[in-house]
Structure 1
Amino acid sequence: MSRHVTVGLDGSLQSDAAAEWAAREAVLREVPLRLVHADEWPVWTADPEAEAGVQRPGVQRLWADKLLAEAAERLRQRHPSLEISTRRLSGRPSTALATEAADADLLVLGSRGLSCVMGFVLGSVGMETITAAEGPVVLVRAPAFPGADQDTPAGSSRDVVVGVDIHQPCDPLLGFAFDEAARRGGRLRALHGWSLPPVVHDALALEAAERDMAPDIARSLGDTLAPWQRKYPSVAVVELTPVGAPSQLLAQSAADADLVVVGRRSRRSRLGAHIGPVTHAVIHHCAAPVAIVAHH
């Protein structure tokens, strides 16, 4: 695998935001950036030469080449030391992007957000790409206000938030999260949300159950993180084990984060690959960039 960051472009504001995030990530990693476009992606920019909304192959190719060239020039102006290349892909978009991602450190895609409540509209291409890609995929939303500078968003930190399931092995997830926190020089907030037994309804009994269970859960999270803390001694870790729905807790904790990291099981069932309900909710409702890391 060659060391580089790949970002998919489709002409939307979201893919522009993804390209800028990917460029900054490539600078952090000290690796080249590759801009790619899959020909079958929807075209968000109106094409006066298209007839009845249908793109002719030649027109589409010219449009794609122009899209990539203009994005590369824009990013070179902002990041003059960054090595940038472009590539136009053909074939089924999700397959082409997943294949391209196999040769990269990570793949970055844009996601359309409707509102803070409704969250992402990721689309079938994005979801299929996530489940097909073996490496990390990062989803980036466009800034809330067009033209806003994403380098230092108001109220943001350099912290990385990672959702941890203490009941499942997740070394690739933690390795990625610690690595990202080390690059940024921020803290790593490791969060495991949990629920009280559903059979307990009395307020005093709930309080007693939480008091009895909380220390063991906190200890388990600490044990899970310990090997990685030894490997990354420079990373300050905040361990969080609140009671509540993991997806909601992650979205709340990530409100001012630089990156949110969640996992998905890489095993496939007869119905295909799944990303899991927590990861699905996080990528639909977190405003911060979300990294999805496959693990067994």
Structure 2
Amino acid sequence: MFPDAAPHSLPTVTVGLDESDASRAAADWAAREALLRELPLRVLLVRAIPQAPEPREPDYAALRTWADSSTRGEIGRLTLRYPGLRAVREQPTGVPAQVLTEASEQAELLVLGSRALGAVQGFLVGSVAQLTVARARCPVVLVRATADAPAPDPAGDVLVGLDLRHPAEDVLAFAFRAAELRGVPLRILTAWHLPHSYGLYPPVEPDFITREARDWTRRLSEAVRPWREKHPAVRVREIPAEGGAAQRLLAEAAEAALVVVGRRNRRSRTGAHIGPVAHALMHHAPAPLAVVPHD
């Protein structure tokens, strides 16, 4: 019915599977995305290696049986629900975040689940997902668990946050393609701040805010213009917004079917970092969130 492993030379939409409702929601989202992109879906369930001594040796035979049954059952469910879906499965043994990060090197897109904690607390993004987002070589989409995991994508457009201080062509390329594939509008938001000295003595010129807003509007338009020309079918709305980027994106996210943000490829002595805007959206954005790595 389906192969056990994908040829690594072919790009895939890869989804990380476990026993959670969030994982099932992610698998459904990934299946629809694979059909949109005309790519195979790779269902990946990692048989985790214990990271600390356990009272007794794990029953690896039982783990293999469980993993085989889980992936077969999930692919059976998905191929029945989404006719035309090409799906493959793998059950490697290893450290989950490490295996998923390695899988991102062959994937066009990696999809993971997160679960709701409530309207105030936001969403729980586990340590495996956080480490994977911080290190992945391809875009990672976090999908929120819902009461009805197989529900269609939420209605809405694509919203992308753009930091004009660090040009991110990969972020715009991903956002424009996502909007084009779905046939929906694209909102592009960049946040700007008044200088810390604003409002202090000596007073600034009366039209200072107006000039700042015009300048950011112009800069955003110039950054987006080449992408409008590449994707003339995509309806674009540009939003230069004064204030914090995370807060402004969260305010706009309620009407989005997909939110897109960037993550710079950078490392420090303490490892990879996600960045404050992506981190805030990972825990509070109501829509699926794509985190796109870029230089």
TM-score (ref. length: structure 1):
0.90
Answer yes or no: is 1:197 the counterpart of 2:204: no
Between Structure 1 and Structure 2, how many residues are aligned? 282
Question: Counterpart in 2 of 1:286?
Answer: 285
Q: C-alpha separation between the residues in 2 aligned to 1:126 and 1:197?
A: 36
Amino acid at match of 1:234: A
Greater shift, 54-63 or 77-86, is seen at 54-63
Q: C-alpha separation between the residues in 2 aligned to 1:207 and 1:18?
A: 50
Secondary structure in 1 matching 2:164: coil
Answer yes or no: is 1:253 the counterpart of 2:252: yes
Secondary structure in 2 matching 1:242: strand
Identify, as 1 or 2, the structure richer in strand: 2
Secondary structure in 2 matching 1:105: strand
Asked if the contact 1:116/1:287 (under 8 Å) is kept, the reply is: no
Q: CA deviation at 1:52?
A: 9.4
Secondary structure in 2 matching 1:215: helix
Runs of at least 5 residues in structure 1 that lack an aligned partner in the other structure = 43-50
Question: Counterpart in 2 of 1:104?
Answer: 107
Question: Counterpart in 1 of 2:12?
Answer: 4
Q: CA deviation at 1:251?
A: 1.3
Amino acid at match of 1:147: D
Deviations 1:67-118 (A, max 9, x none): 1111101101111211111100111111111111211111000012201221
Runs of at least 5 residues in structure 2 that lack an aligned partner in the other structure = 1-8
Answer yes or no: is 1:17 the counterpart of 2:18: no
TM-score (ref. length: structure 2):
0.90
Asked if the contact 2:14/2:111 (under 8 Å) is kept, the reply is: yes
Q: C-alpha separation between the residues in 1 aligned to 2:195 and 2:83?
A: 56
Amino acid at match of 1:268: R
Q: C-alpha separation between the residues in 2 aligned to 1:148 and 1:127?
A: 22
Q: Alpha carbons of 1:210 and 1:277: their partners in 2 closer, same or farther (altered >3 Å)?
A: same
Amino acid at match of 2:82: H
Question: Counterpart in 2 of 1:272?
Answer: 271
Q: CA deviation at 1:231?
A: 0.7
Question: Counterpart in 2 of 1:212?
Answer: 211
Q: Alpha carbons of 1:55 and 1:111: their partners in 2 closer, same or farther (altered >3 Å)?
A: farther
Q: CA deviation at 1:63?
A: 1.4
Asked if the contact 2:261/2:292 (under 8 Å) is kept, the reply is: yes
Report the RMSD for the aligned CA atoms in angstroms.
2.2
Asked if the contact 1:188/1:236 (under 8 Å) is kept, the reply is: yes
Amino acid at match of 2:76: E
Alignment of 1:64-213 (within 5 A): 64-143=67-146, 146-147=147-148, 150-151=151-152, 153=154, 156-157=155-156, 159-201=157-199, 208-213=207-212
Deviations 1:126-169 (A, max 9, x none): 111112211111100112xx22652154xx31x11110011111
Q: C-alpha separation between the residues in 1 aligned to 2:152 and 2:58?
A: 35
Q: Alpha carbons of 1:163 and 1:136: their partners in 2 closer, same or farther (altered >3 Å)?
A: same
The alignment-based identity, stated in percent, is 45
Q: Alpha carbons of 1:86 and 1:207: their partners in 2 closer, same or farther (altered >3 Å)?
A: farther
